[in-house]
Chains A and B, each alone.
Chain A
Amino acid sequence: METEYGPGRTIPHPVLFRLLDAEADDTTIPEIKVEHPSEYAYYPGCIDYYDQEMQFSHMNYGDTNHGIIFDSSIKLLRAVGIEPMILDRSFMKCCGHDQLWQGKVDVFKKMRDYNTTIIQKLGVKTLVTSCAEGYRTFRLDYKLPGVRVVHITQILYERGLRIPPQGDGGKKIRVAYQDPCRSCRQMPVGAVYEEPRELIKRVDTAELVELKTFRADAQCCGVAQMMYCNDKTKGITAKRMDEATEVGADYLLTACPKCLTHFGCLHHENKWKPGGERYAYRVMDITQFLAERLPGDYPTGGNVDLRRKETPAPGRRG
């Protein structure tokens, strides 16, 4: 199939991008009723959209849970004493990262102008994101004077998040961490290398193991800006996941929902036949990992998608 980008190359997830482009078209700024004003704002981004995009598949059934990132972030922020205002999708648009990197600059500009106006209007002083691509976009590609943009791991580290002892009998779990390209290498200022590692080290039962390439050498997860999804990009992802197997990890953590998507997709796909599992570790976001180890409920009630009762076995369920 010959497309404008070359043979076999289409930008995947057409419904997601059509939806985001359609959202961007409506540029009227609505009247926003601020229920809980605060100078801290949390921007979830397209978290729930990823859940819905994988709606008909394994990923929304508990294997890879994007929405829980939203819930975990709020729980963690409350644990360090921040009650953020949520810049949710009823009045915000997508940050526009993918559109910018796919060359659709005019769509990005619409989203950027809209979001910037609202952020300034609400008087936000600190913008917290749980997405590495959002972090890069808000920090480098948006102009937000007077607003400090932080990744959630940064603010948690600054505020001294403490994870209570887990009391698991001293059994150590091996935790590998994937450095997202967007928040680490691509940031000339404000790269987030150490904060997630420090937070992992604060969990007493977790033992941080480094993958073969890490920090500035870390290999990309394979599909940045949703540019392609084909055998070759899957090869990149598979290679990265093999590194986690080599190092004997029990968990593969990441700080970017995109990395989570790609790892999760391959992770599930590789156990489509019961008993044929290739990757023996769990893939999750770092916020979920930390929030699971904090006592208490999720203030948001957890991911209330009704289908998430338990993790079903892979295979047909259509």
Chain B
Amino acid sequence: MATAPTAAAATPAATPPPADPLLAYYRGVRQMNVQIAKERYKAFYKGRTLEFIRGRGTIAIVDEEVCMGCTHCFDNCAFEAIDMADRKFALPDYSYTSRKAVIVYDNCVGCEKCALVCPVDAITMAPKHGFEMREGKLVSTAPPAPPAKPAAPAPRPATPAPASQPSPASPVAP
């Protein structure tokens, strides 16, 4: 077993452990099992993150054939980048309405959370337009922006105006 079970933490309601050793045993075993399940799942989900690329340059893609509309991805997207589109399924003997996941590409940031939780592996992460995988790293393919032009020098202050210009002091004939 990969991870050893850790000792159960006290329940948040802070009830004292029951005096009866049997009840203490049951409570202990129960909490230990929840902890075990949590830890093992954490480890394996962590391993699963290595399967997908993620980050600014990635985007999620849903395989519609595989998607079965369970809304796990929808429930977990923090960026409102997944929507569920209603679909009707007509099977030979039965028809029902369901839904399929649709990625809203404007909002997707490539955090891969949807790909992680999809139970049927319908979501894959792919490089966005303008990015590509080079030697295992995601790099941008857009050309670098040209350096900003230096600002034009300030025009020299004009020499004092010739006498043709009326001096501001002289009053203008009404």
Contact = CB atoms under 8 A, between A and B. Distances in A.
Interface string A78-90: 0000010010111
B117 A57 contact: yes
Nearest to A22: B2
A23 B1 contact: yes
Contacts of A14: 48, 119, 121
B48 A301 contact: no
A51 B33 CA distance: 12
A229 B31 contact: no
Interface string A233-252: 11100110010000000000
A88 B38 CA distance: 14
Interface residues of A, number: 61
Contact of A70 (B15, B33, B78): B33
A151 B71 CA distance: 33
Given A1-B65, A22-B2, A56-B113, A300 B29 contact: yes
Interface residues of B, number: 53
Contact of B26 (A22, A54, A235, A299): A299
B41 A12 contact: no
B22 interface: yes
- Most A-side CB within 10 Å, residue of B25, B38, B48, B120: B120
A96 interface: no
Interface stretch (A129-137, A155-163, A175-183, A310-318): A310-318
6 contacts: A8-B65, A56-B72, A70-B33, A71-B30, A74-B30, A235-B96
Given A44-B33, A234-B68, 9 more contacts: A8-B65, A23-B1, A56-B76, A70-B30, A74-B26, A90-B32, A268-B71, A269-B71, A301-B15
